Amino acid sequence: MLELRFTRRFSMGHRLISGQAEACALPHGHNEFVTVHLQPTQPAPLDGHANMLMPFERAKARWHRFVDERLDHALQLSEHDPLLGWFRNSEPARAERIVVTPGDPTTELMACLLMAKLGAILLDDGGLLRCAALRLEETPTNTVSVSDDALSLLPPRDGWWRRPDMSIA
């Protein structure tokens, strides 16, 4: 089967408050790489004319815009993090740049949330492609990959990751 792959780099900050990773309890950042693997929802042979699933520019445009405009230089915080309330009360304009997650914004959770978000975007864009896998590299030595149905790994509720828009909270 043919597959399109795109990689995008973004910088982010986060902190984990559950107590499972004490070194990550203070806000800190990473330069991350997200690689997506897109496959056609209805595989077919190349047509002998255009010979492509769709133009690369169309396939990646909304996703790259989301990464560049919403994830890059954003802060990722749990919906339970007291810093979220502080930002909302003290710096509401900056609070709009916070990626709010259900629990700690671990690399595992973010990989699932991003795959679900991309799935919503692709469906909204006509459903010609699906995200078969997503790889999130937190550091050169720490990477999380998720494939198939990321939604089945997430809390069963509505959230920004289910919407095909540019929301992150």
**Number of folded domains that form the chain:** 1
Residue among 3, 70, 2 nearest 36 (CA): 3
- With both helix axes pointing from N to C terminus, report the angle between 107-124 and 56-66 in degrees, rounded to the nearest 10: 130
Residue 134 falls inside a structural domain: yes
Q: What angle do CA 59, 65, 69 make, to 5 degrees?
A: 165
Residue 168 falls inside a structural domain: no
Q: Which domain holds residue 38?
A: 4-162
Residue 121 falls inside a structural domain: yes
Give the CATH number of the domain where residue 94 resides.
Answer: 3.30.479.10
Q: What is the pLDDT along the chain (169 residues), one digit of tens a residue?
A: 899 999 999 999 999 999 898 989 999 999 999 999 999 999 999 999 999 988 999 999 999 999 999 999 999 999 999 999 999 999 999 999 999 999 999 999 999 999 999 999 999 999 999 999 999 999 999 999 999 899 999 999 999 999 999 999 9
78-126 pLDDT per residue, tens: 999 999 999 999 999 999 999 999 999 999 999 999 999 999 999 999 9
Residue 169 falls inside a structural domain: no
Q: Give me the pLDDT at residue 148, please.
A: 82
Residue 167 falls inside a structural domain: no
Residue 16 falls inside a structural domain: yes
CB 144 within 8 A of CB 108: yes
Residue 122 falls inside a structural domain: yes
